[in-house]
Amino acid sequence: MKIIVSFSLLICLAACQTRHKEEKENSGKPNIIIINMDDLGYGDVGAYGATELKTPNFDRLANGGIRFTNGHSTSSTCTPSRFALITGVYPWRNSEAKILPGTAPLIIDTAQATIASVLKGAGYRTGVVGKWHLGLGDGHADWNKPISPGPNQLGFDYAYIMAATQDRVPTVYIEDGSVVGLDPNDPIEVSYEQNFEGEPTALTHPEMLTMKWHHGHNQSIVNGVPRIGFMKGGKKALWKDEDMADHFLAKARDFVESNKNQPFFLYYAMQQPHVPRTPHPRFAGTTGLGPRGDVIAEADWCVGEFLKTLEDNKLLENTLIIFTSDNGPVVNDGYHDDAVEKLGKHTPAGPLRGGKYSLFEGGTRVPFITYWKGTIQPGVSDALVCQVDLMASLSALAGQSYSGQDSQDLLDVLLGKSSRGRANLVLEASGRTALREGDWLLIPPYKGQAVNKHVNIELGNALEYQLYDLGKDLAQQHNLAKENEEKVKQMAQTLESIQGKPAGDVPELELK
């Protein structure tokens, strides 16, 4: 009996020593939070020049941290941008990294390193709350059973997400792979090919709509809102659109509260101001800019409430917060919601040309802020930085080694210790690419429409090379390609060498 007790004590002591060692190793590691907005433009934030829209909590981060004026997503649309942020890999390297339906399979290989898997390996508790839109399962998901692979197989200990976007089915929350609140007697069926017999759509039952569609959003009706895709069943599991911001905020706060005694990484992927814009009644009509302005105000409030949670738990001085957006802005993106009519003097892209879907700067130059109370000194940086670099930079912060061809370790830049950003950056819009090099932007020739008429945004397409000096011409009004042929040739060769293939629709460089 004495031998057994002694042996048990030894096991207990060993476990305690191991736990103490882990706590000691983790004690110096800061918490990391990425707040990623959805379609928030460079000009939608007060600290970036917005005057018609008040964003005091976004501004608090910007004014108390580093406001990057030259911060980019990799892409001007959501899925590829999020792929790059999570993996540190340019999205054009993955042919599946394009805007996905809600039924798409997971496009990140489970063997691929992600920010979550690297930080988890460094002792972090990892979580994602909000918009996912990187696919789930193998492409044949049964929404009535646990769905795998997903975020939990990519290094996230906890995942509370929507599968795709607020305007796409399935319109349900998914927690660690399972639909929340599902009644097994009312199974969910989802299709992006054909409707289910007897199910109303926006085309067959317009009288059921509480929001009128403008283009593309005319299939299944959920909560009076017409969606992309068809869905049947799951009535008890359906989300309430007006409560979504509050719902995700509560889950983000819960994650912090549950993990405050250990290093944690939270990817808080907010859904605003993506369509459908459904502000809670507390915010409806408060900005005078229509639902788009109202949901930005709502998101700003959510950030403020989230910061209070960090303050209440005395975590702000040990937490790096990165605030950004997946791509540039769009005003009308599928619904009649007064966003255009009530825009007034507000300019969502600020001084930039283009927006969502575009190769012009408005497509990928986004709000990009780093905040760490007491560690990052407030300031403004013009360094060229990109979300693809978060993988290498956060790996370095956590003391983990990382080697990748695209993501660069810019930790010193993000912390304000250096002003030297990237030398070049490949940007992407729906499969089309462009190259940033210093202040220069080169857009190769691309066929196709110059303007997306549905959303009234210039796409950047032209049959000739476009070269802009953004240091002197941020609005991109002067194409300098013909008077800088050598620069065009050099940058075209650089882009080709990075991609391993010629860019653009025109196979040979022709400026005349």
**Confidence label for 17 from pLDDT (cuts 50, 70 and 90):** low
Q: What percent of the chain has pLDDT over 90?
A: 92
- Res. 15 pLDDT band, cuts 50 70 90: low
Question: What CA–CA distance (Å, rounded) separates 277 from 291?
Answer: 6
The three state secondary structure string of 24-58 is HHHCCCCEEEEEEECCCCHHHCHHHCCCCCCCHHH
Least confident of 6-15, 302-311, 336-345: 6-15
CATH 3.20.20.70 fits 27-188+233-422, yes or no: no
Q: What is the mean pLDDT of residues 451-470?
A: 97
How wide is the angle at C-alpha 232 spanned by C-alphas 231 and 236, nearest 5°? 110
508/366: higher pLDDT:
366
Higher pLDDT, 15 or 409: 409
Question: Taking a C-beta distance cutoff of 8 angstroms, is the pair 168, 228 a contact?
Answer: yes
42-71 burial, b if ≥16 CB within 10 A, otherwise e? bbbbbbbebeebbbebbbbbbbbbbbbebb
Answer for the pair 465, 509: CB distance below 8 angstroms, yes or no: yes
pLDDT of residue 23: 45
Q: What is the pLDDT of residue 28?
A: 81
Evaluate if residue 10 carries a pLDDT over 60: no
Residue 511: the pLDDT is 42
Element (H, E) at 323: strand 319-325
Q: Mind listing the pLDDT tens digit for each residue in 144-202? A: 999 999 999 999 999 999 999 999 999 999 999 999 999 999 999 999 999 999 999 99
Cite the residue boundaries of each domain of the chain with CATH code 3.30.1120.10.
425-499
Domain span(s) for CATH 3.40.720.10 in the chain: 27-188+233-422
DSSP 222: E
**Closest C-alpha to 41, from 275, 327, 453:** 327
| Cα–Cα nearest to 102, from 137, 76, 74 | 137
Nearest to 67 by CA among 426, 381, 300, 458: 381
Tell which wins on pLDDT, 411 or 10. 411
What is the full DSSP assignment across 356-404?
Answer: TT-SSHHHHB--EEEE-TTTSPPEEE---EEGGGHHHHHHHHTT-----
Q: Report helix, strand or coil for 247.
A: helix
For residue 281, the tally of other CB atoms under 10 A from its CB is: 7
How much is the average pLDDT of 333-349? 97
pLDDT range class, residue 48, cuts 50, 70, 90 = very high
pLDDT of residue 2: 45
Neighbour count for residue 288 (Cβ, 10 Å): 12
**Residue type for position 235:** K
| 3.40.50.261, 3.30.1120.10, 2.60.120.380, 3.40.50.2020: CATH of 425-499 | 3.30.1120.10
The answer, yes or no, to whether the previous bond of 273 is cis (omega within 30 of 0) is yes
Rounded to whole angstroms, the Cα distance separating 103 from 122 reads 33
The 10s digit of each residue's pLDDT in 366-386 is: 999 999 999 999 999 999 999
Q: Measured between alpha carbons, how far apart are the two ends of the chain, in Å?
A: 93
Confidence of residue 510 (pLDDT cuts 50, 70, 90): very low
Query: pTM here?
Result: 0.94
How far apart are alpha carbons 344 and 48 in whole angstroms? 18
Q: Which has the minimum average pLDDT: 23-32, 210-219, 319-328?
A: 23-32
What is the percentage of the chain residues whose pLDDT exceeds 70? 93
Which is it for strands 319-325 and 189-191: parallel, antiparallel or unpaired? unpaired
DSSP state of 77: S
Question: Please, what is the average pLDDT of the chain?
Answer: 94
**90-120: pLDDT as tens digits:** 999 999 999 999 999 999 999 999 999 999 9
Residue 46 in contact with residue 57, Cβ under 8 Å?
A: no
> Per-residue confidence at 512, pLDDT binned at 50, 70, 90?
very low
Instruction: Give the span between the Cα atoms of 485 and 466, in whole angstroms.
Output: 11
